[in-house]
Structure 1
Amino acid sequence: MVFYPGSDAGVRRGRTTGTYDGGPNTATTMTPAFLLVAFCAAMAAIATARLAVDDERDPVDVGVVLIVVGSTSLSLLWMSLTESWTTTIGRSVLASVGSVLVVAGTVLLFRYLTPPPEYPS
């Protein structure tokens, strides 16, 4: 296909307006879902490492780790939905695992969290 200055031959209309090669726009960009998954994965790694290194583990710390890992799974679900990576079964597994981890972590957090001591005035 030959392009002449000023003509719009070869310009695709619709989602890929502005591509002159006749093919789809294949520029790779980081989506907000990818950035969220990367952030959650980093936080999950930090929380898990702190739990593994800590000598005195309590249920509140375990609950926080479960919440962070569960939210990582749910953000991975969001990314797989936006990128169409997984099948329905894979999405169901991600949603189930993420939801169960977040609920279990929340139960541990609220069950074993003690109120701060009241100081006399």
Structure 2
Amino acid sequence: MTATSGRPQQNAGRARVVLGMVGDKWSLLVVCHLDQGPRRFTELKRAVEGISQRMLTVTLRGLERDGIVTRTVHNVMPPHVTYRLTPMGKTLYEATTPLLQWTIKHLAHIDAAREAYDARTDTWLAGSVQPEH
């Protein structure tokens, strides 16, 4: 038996953990920016809108631990660190590019659907309209 077919439930649990990491809202954005080439921490911080310094640190450490990103310390004064995708990280970017493109393409539709839903929910909560069964 192969490693992927030997213990389906164990592999499913492990896969769920990895999917949770790479599927969080920050990891894919970081991977997307690193596909453009090596970046310093401050460059990533500016590029990934809304991410805190702490969350970027946590995200990069997780990606490094899982072999998606490499961290290189440059011995210059002052020292600086760059991050880049590993070969496996590049395949993650390639695999998720369609999802990222779909998200960008449908942002306006999602915003409109949310507004319509919120309007219905607000009306229903106010007691003006009873939910349909």
Q: TM-score, normalised by structure 1?
A: 0.25
Larger of the two Rg values belongs to structure: 1
Q: Of Structure 1 and Structure 2, which has the larger fraction of its residues in strand?
A: 2
The structure, 1 or 2, with the larger RCO (C-alpha pairs under 8 Å, 6+ apart) is 1
Q: TM-score, normalised by structure 2?
A: 0.24
